[in-house]
Amino acid sequence: MTIPILNATSLQRVLQSGRTQPCLFFCEDESGQSDGEYVVKLKAGMENGVNGLAAELIASQLANFLDIPTPEPAIIELDPLLAEVIPDPELSRKIKESAGLNFGSRVITGGFETWPVGKAIPSSLKTLAAEIFAFDALIQNPDRKVNKPNILWKGDNLYIIDHEMSLMFIYEILPMQNPWQITNLRFIKEHLFYGNLKGQTVNLDRFAGALDLLTDNVIETILVNVPEAWQSNNISKIKTHINEIVHHSNDFVDEIRRALQ
């Protein structure tokens, strides 16, 4: 997919949810045409720096390819001059230090709210919930928990958000010889949907089929879309991790089913 590169033109407000305190900006394309509002993760606000920005962009593209709903991603250029009209000195500093490329996602409108704590999974969303559980195991995302769902929800529609803490394998905190074997990933038992899916029969056939279509060329395109300023030797680790899981997709899906038995 092509990732748009947009220019932030005006700050609307700071979003208080999330550790990174993202900002809502009006953005426009290179021709000066308005492209609406985007939630922008500021480079200076990311705990993992540009690794967090890269994780957001890679996870968004993977979710889109695997047909798991997520807001449309974009790369947002911030002009440091934007900081000069912001009265809050801390926010002004953060925007100035975030000059250049940042991660953004199109604002989701229409009455969506954060997935309520303790909400049971409706039968209509059971399959998608299982796919989200599998997706978070794929990208090693420990940050979608009961008390921090990182999901926007309305009726039978939802969007997964906030993936800056994913791709944890790049830090080699818990080295894995075989990335498709997830049984030693302790965070999966803390996943938002683990408790409600545990012991149930889940249908991962569609997800498995989509995973099989994640070819080397598709993975390469996803990684090429990461701006050079966000890249490091981690890109090769990410490529190897995803390729290994795709090449052992049947084993990976079996592991997901086994984790939920």
Reported as a single tens digit per residue, the pLDDT across 188-209 is 999 999 999 999 999 999 999 9
| pLDDT for 139 beyond 70 | yes
Q: Show the CA angle centred on residue 164, arms to residues 162 and 165, nearest 5°.
A: 105
Q: How far apart are the first and last CA of the chain?
A: 35
pTM for the whole structure: 0.95
Name residue 154's beta-bridge partners.
Answer: 157
Phi, psi dihedrals of residue 105, rounded to the nearest 5°: -140, 140
Around Cβ 207, how many Cβ atoms within 10 Å? 26
User: What is the rounded distance in angstroms from the CA atom of residue 258 to the CA atom of residue 253?
Assistant: 9
User: What is the rounded distance in angstroms from the CA atom of residue 253 to the CA atom of residue 245?
Assistant: 9
- Report the pLDDT value the prediction gives residue 243, as an integer from 0 to 100: 96
| pLDDT for 177 beyond 90 | no
Q: Show the CA angle centred on residue 74, arms to residues 103 and 126, nearest 5°.
A: 90
- Report the pLDDT value the prediction gives residue 174, as an integer from 0 to 100: 60
